[in-house]
Amino acid sequence: MSRRRLGVLISGRGSNLAALIDTAAAADYPAEIAVVVSNNPDAPGLERARAAGIEGVVVNHRGHARREDFEALLHTALTAHRVELICLAGFMRLLTPSFFDLWSGRIINIHPSLLPAFKGLDTHARALDAGVRVAGCTAHYVVPEMDEGPIIAQAAVAVAPDDDAESLAARVLAAEHRLYPHAVRLIASGRARLVDGRIERDGDGAPPPVLFNPPLEG
């Protein structure tokens, strides 16, 4: 089996990277991490990559007069490692349309909300302010508009009555760690595909039961 070569882009902690590393360790996983690139030289995720024997490259966004110059270095690092699919994993830089032209249909992301609700930052605090009973996370293809793009997979979690942003973030993050490797598996295996701006997928199997929150009574 030939495995799709992933380039994972990070900016910080790297817990989603760690989930991908752990999942991709299985021999039958249809993707492998060819390189990890961080725009932040101090990103803890770089150490996680090195510990797993994966090359970690720093492409610092600071010190470039133009965003395109930073992205040219990013592109070079990715092509040097023959990356086929870019996985954003807590990568906190917006990419320009010219970078998307180069990598069109080959960039995916994990976002800590049920898109299209709560794009951007502070998703959990805003979800709690809005009083939602169900929160979650989304794996999606990336387009130039922030936190938009065809949705590959989502996971929903129940909001607890006493949740604060921190406790909700922890519950959603645990779901991210399962969802993102699952979404990458679907794409890398070809079981889900981007066709005309939408995701086409093979049979979904039996879906889990509906999540009611508060739970149904009786």
Catalytic residue among 111, 124, 140, 177: 111
Q: Given candidates 112, 136, 149, 150, which one binds ligand GAR under the rule CB under 6 A?
A: 112
Quick check: 3 and 32 in contact, CB under 8 A? yes
Q: Given candidates 16, 38, 39, 40, which one binds ligand GAR under the rule CB under 6 A?
A: 16
Q: Given candidates 7, 56, 90, 149, which one binds ligand GAR under the rule CB under 6 A?
A: 90
Residue 111 a catalytic site member: yes
Q: Given candidates 6, 7, 8, 14, which one binds ligand GAR under the rule CB under 6 A?
A: 14
Q: Given candidates 81, 111, 140, 185, which one binds ligand GAR under the rule CB under 6 A?
A: 111
Bridge partners (DSSP) of residue 138 are 111, 154
Instruction: Using CB under 6 A, count the residues that bind ligand GAR.
Output: 15
- C-alpha distances in Å from residue 94, one per residue of 11, 142, 178: 12, 10, 25
Q: Which is nearer to ligand GAR, 4 or 111 (CB)?
A: 111
CB of 89 to ligand GAR, least distance (A): 5
- C-alpha distances in Å from residue 71, one per residue of 56, 58, 65, 90: 17, 12, 12, 17
Query: SS3 string of 128-153?
Result: HHHCCCEEEEEEEECCCCCCCCCEEE
Footprint (CB under 6 A) of ligand GAR, residues 49-88? none
Retrieve residue 16's tokens. Answer: 């989603």
> Is residue 182 involved in binding ligand GAR (CB under 6 A)?
no
- Contact region with ligand GAR (CB under 6 A), list: 73-81, 105-113, 189-197, 202-210: 105-113
Q: Which is nearer to ligand GAR, 90 or 150 (CB)?
A: 90
DSSP H or E segment with residue 211: none
> Taking the alpha carbons of 175, 181, 187, 190 in that order, is the dihedral positive or negative?
negative
Q: Which is nearer to ligand GAR, 78 or 115 (CB)?
A: 115
Q: Given candidates 176, 179, 183, 188, which one binds ligand GAR under the rule CB under 6 A?
A: 176
Retrieve residue 93's tokens. Answer: 């830089």
CB of 44 to ligand GAR, least distance (A): 8
CB of 174 to ligand GAR, least distance (A): 11
Buried b (16+ CB within 10 A) or exposed e, 166-196: eebbebbbebbbebbbebbbbbbbeebebee
Contacts to ligand GAR by CB under 6 A: 10, 12-16, 45, 89-90, 110-112, 147, 173, 176
